């Protein structure tokens, strides 16, 4: 597939996304310019972390309507993506888009991160986990680290990040087997919205008691 054909995938996904957004409340962002900047450009910022260079398996945890997973999968056919969300309606759209665009290096899964994190098939099986707008860092570390293999990296897309959230996230990461690599602040082009990529490496196996049961990590965060 040449570059023109690859970029055409974005146009086909965009048509499906606009059409589905009119029928259901898939996204709060409806302005054309905002969709491009806040969904596509923001999703692709993960590539600038330098942590997606390689033939990795990547889990997008809490993908919603496919962000950041769909733009990343369309841009990087050499990576294998699993797009996970607990909401069936959202995964129904992602499944349809993967088939129709098509994006053969992506698959959609309906389910909870806690369940995949306890399932021996999926626990410690991914090279990378990406996640955007799902939860606070201490919750994310408990949901994401069990799913990474040792040596794997979590790329958490956050807005402006308070020191307290970063510190709590790092303490939680220590409990579930991770260490902060770096937090990279940047601003979205045109809009100037502040963003932070938080990169956490899994350095040792996650203790078996994590993740806790469905909903517990968010209800009672580790820190």
Residues engaged in binding ligand SAM (CB under 6 A): 62-64, 67, 84-87, 90, 112-114, 132-134, 143
Report d(CA 61, CA 171) in Å as an integer. Answer: 21
Q: Taking CB positions, which residue lies at the least distance from ligand SAM?
A: 64
- Kindly state the tokens that stand for 186: 């940047």
What token pair was written down for 77?
């056919």
Determine contact, residues 79/52, Cβ cutoff 8 Å. Answer: yes
Distance between CA atoms of 12 and 223, rounded to whole angstroms? 42
CB of 5 to ligand SAM, least distance (A): 26
Q: Which is nearer to ligand SAM, 43 or 80 (CB)?
A: 43
Positions at the binding site for S-adenosyl-L-methionine: 62, 67, 85-87, 113-114, 132
Residue 3 C-beta: closest distance to ligand SAM, Å: 26
Looking at the Cβ atoms of 143 and 168, the one nearer to ligand SAM is 143
For residue 6, give every residue at least 6 positions away whose Cβ sits within 8 Å of its Cβ, in sequence order, or none. 74, 75, 77
Query: Binding site: which residues?
Result: 62, 67, 85-87, 113-114, 132
Q: How far is the CB of 1 from ligand SAM (least distance, A)?
A: 26
CB of 111 to ligand SAM, least distance (A): 7
Integer CA distances (angstroms), 106 to 59, 163, 182, 190, 194, in order: 10, 35, 27, 30, 29
Longest dimension (CA), the chain: 48
The SS3 call for residue 24 is coil
CA–CA distance, 2 with 203 (Å, rounded to integer): 38
Q: Which is nearer to ligand SAM, 133 or 191 (CB)?
A: 133
Q: Helices 3-23 and 88-100: crossing angle, nearest 10°?
A: 150
87 vs 187, beta carbon nearer ligand SAM: 87
Task: Single out the residue of 128, 176, 177 nearest to residue 156, CA to CA.
Answer: 128
- Give the shortest CB-129-to-ligand SAM separation in angstroms: 12
Q: Using the minimum distance from each CB to ligand SAM, give the nearer residue, 92 or 203.
A: 92
């Amino acid at each position: 597939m040449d570059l023109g054909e690859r970029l055409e995938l974005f146009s086909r996904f965009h048509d499906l996304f606009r059409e589905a957004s009119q029928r259901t409340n898939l996204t709060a962002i409806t302005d054309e310019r905002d969709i491009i900047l806040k969904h596509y450009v923001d999703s692709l910022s993960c590539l600038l972390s330098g942590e997606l260079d390689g033939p990795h398996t990547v889990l997008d945890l809490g993908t919603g309507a496919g962000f950041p997973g769909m733009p990343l999968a369309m841009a990087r056919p050499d990576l294998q993506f699993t797009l996970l969300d607990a909401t069936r309606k959202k995964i129904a759209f992602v499944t349809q888009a993967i088939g129709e665009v098509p994006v053969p290096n992506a698959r959609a899964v309906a389910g909870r991160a806690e369940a995949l994190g306890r399932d021996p098939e999926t626990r410690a099986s991914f090279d990378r986990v990406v996640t955007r707008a799902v939860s606070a860092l201490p919750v994310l570390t408990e949901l994401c680290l069990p799913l990474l293999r040792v040596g794997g990296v979590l790329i958490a897309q956050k807005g402006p990040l308070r020191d307290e959230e970063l510190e709590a996230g790092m303490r939680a990461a220590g409990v579930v087997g991770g260490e902060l690599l770096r937090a990279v602040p940047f601003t979205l082009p045109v809009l100037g919205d502040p963003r932070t990529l938080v990169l956490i490496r899994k350095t040792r196996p996650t203790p078996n008691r994590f993740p806790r049961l469905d909903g517990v990590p968010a209800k009672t965060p580790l820190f």
